[in-house]
Structure 1
């Protein structure tokens, strides 16, 4: 590879990295995902509904939520969202067998609004953890 191609690749990599960093700083309610569907911290709320439950956790100013199906095993539409007051909601939505999420936002001392859906059932918390 010639030096021009190396410089172009390095410049492209630096641009992508800078753009990612800028987006992360501009959007304080960014989501963090975990492969095992767990959240850090202690469970502060459980929001049961007809087809599932939303588990809400808090740790060091971060709020995390997971929607778990009441009867896992069949793929269906599931979602979980957490919105810190003054920010946009962070959402995980798709067809899952067991759970949607986790999604995490930095709420600090602000209230959060948590929603969960499994199939036709849903729950919406209203502003909590104020």
Structure 2
């Protein structure tokens, strides 16, 4: 193979990788999958009528983010995480894409996660005990 053929193949490979990366970011519904706002592993998804709350855990820390079912327009959203025996950490406001992330150090304690988008909401009760 001559150097011109190698350059063309390399350019084609870079173009394919770039296009596939852009498609992954632009495709509908992939925003929450493509971007993880919390570190650690996802341990729960708490769905409700107007959205969902994703819960992550790393070490003794628990993190949560609320996502609406339909992104784009500003709507009231909230997310909170509370370690048993502590006050909740809350993010509340009018957002387009997500509320949070909020993180607490829970250690080995149970946590309670709440989230809402518009009139829909979820309350996990005490979990991850």
TM range, smaller chain: 0.7 to 0.9
Q: TM-score, normalised by structure 1?
A: 0.72
If you compute each CA radius of gyration, which structure gives the higher value, 1 or 2? 2
Q: Structure 1: how far apart are the matches of 2:36 and 2:95?
A: 12
Give the corresponding residue for 2:26. none
> Aligned pairs, how many?
95
Q: Could you tell me which runs of 5 or more consecutive residues in structure 1 were left unpaired when the two chains were aligned.
A: 1-35
- Deviations for 1:30-79, whole angstroms, at most 9, x for unmatched residues? xxxxxx76000000000000000000000010000000010000101000
Q: Could you tell me which runs of 5 or more consecutive residues in structure 2 were left unpaired when the two chains were aligned.
A: 1-34
Any conservation in 2 of the 1:47–1:125 contact (CA below 8 Å)? yes
Give the corresponding residue for 2:6. none
Q: Structure 2: how far apart are the matches of 1:113 and 1:60?
A: 17
Give the corresponding residue for 1:53. 52
SS in 1 for 2:108: coil
Q: TM-score, normalised by structure 2?
A: 0.72
Q: Structure 2: how far apart are the matches of 1:106 and 1:45?
A: 17
Give the structure, 1 or 2, with the largest relative contact order (CA under 8 Å, sep 6 or more): 1
Q: Structure 2: how far apart are the matches of 1:48 and 1:72?
A: 15
Give the corresponding residue for 1:79. 78
Query: Are 1:92 and 2:112 matched, yes or no?
Result: no
Q: Structure 1: how far apart are the matches of 2:97 and 2:50?
A: 11
Structure 1 residue runs of 4 or more that deviate by more than 2 Å after TM superposition: none
